[in-house]
Chains A and B, each alone.
Chain A
Amino acid sequence: AQSVSQHNHHVILSEAASLELGCNYSYGGTVNLFWYVQYPGQHLQLLLKYFSGDPLVKGIKGFEAEFIKSKFSFNLRKPSVQWSDTAEYFCAVSEYGNKLVFGAGTILRVKS
């Protein structure tokens, strides 16, 4: 079955620390890849997406993600986190542009 795995459910970092959230998927074909963020009490927002081209994708708020096809991975990174990055982060994958399947989410808490 198609699946998306996020390796850590809870991550706690201090401000200015670097962030990397892992995401792996099990699809074998062409995929579109997404990272969404949900800040406390707010809606889901799109951070970044990959459809094709440069596998290093830049998103909003200083986030980036790298698509490594051979590893079926799409890890999210940020060089220096801020307290305002405290949120839940979801990796999502759409095969052939169809339905979006989400990972279980990673709750990030940034200590000020």
Chain B
Amino acid sequence: SQTIHQWPATLVQPVGSPLSLECTVEGTSNPNLYWYRQAAGRGLQLLFYSVGIGQISSEVPQNLSASRPQDRQFILSSKKLLLSDSGFYLCAWTGTSTGYTFGSGTRLTVV
């Protein structure tokens, strides 16, 4: 069966520090992968999506970047975190005949 793993679950980082959030999918190949952010009091915002290895589309200009070094691995990064980067980050995947499946999320607090 297909599963999606996202870690860490919570993270507290100081302003100016780097960030790396990882998401992996099991049980499928060539998934479409997505990073969403849910900021406090706001809805879910699509940050990046990827339809294949090395293929990244950015939806919102910001302090973050994404990479897809392997077919089932999607990484969200930042070189220097800002206070405004705080939020709840969700990874998701879709296949050719499956709907969206979301990871458990990472709650990032930048202090």
Contacts and interface: CB of A to CB of B under 8 A. Distances in A.
Given A34-B100, A43-B104, A100 B92 contact: yes
Interface residues of A, number: 18
Interface of B: 32, 34, 36, 42-46, 49, 59, 90, 92, 94, 99-100, 102-105
A12 B103 CA distance: 29
Nearest to A100: B100
A44 interface: yes
Contacts, number: 41
Contact of A43 (B32, B59, B94, B105): B105
Contacts of B45: 102
B102 A43 contact: yes
A78 to B, nearest CB: 20
Interface string A79-112: 0000000000010101001111111110000000
Nearest to B96: A97
A90 B44 contact: yes
A104 B41 CA distance: 9
Interface of A: 6, 34, 43-44, 46, 49, 90, 92, 94, 97-105
Nearest to A107: B41
Contact of A102 (B44, B49, B104, B105): B44
Given A105-B43, A105-B44, A99 B34 contact: yes
A44 B103 CA distance: 9
A4 to B, nearest CB: 8
Nearest to B103: A43
Nearest to B100: A100
Contact of A101 (B46, B92, B99): B46
A44 B46 contact: no
Nearest to A49: B99
A2 B45 CA distance: 13
Contacts of B90: 44
Given A34-B99, A34-B100, A49-B99, A99 B46 contact: yes
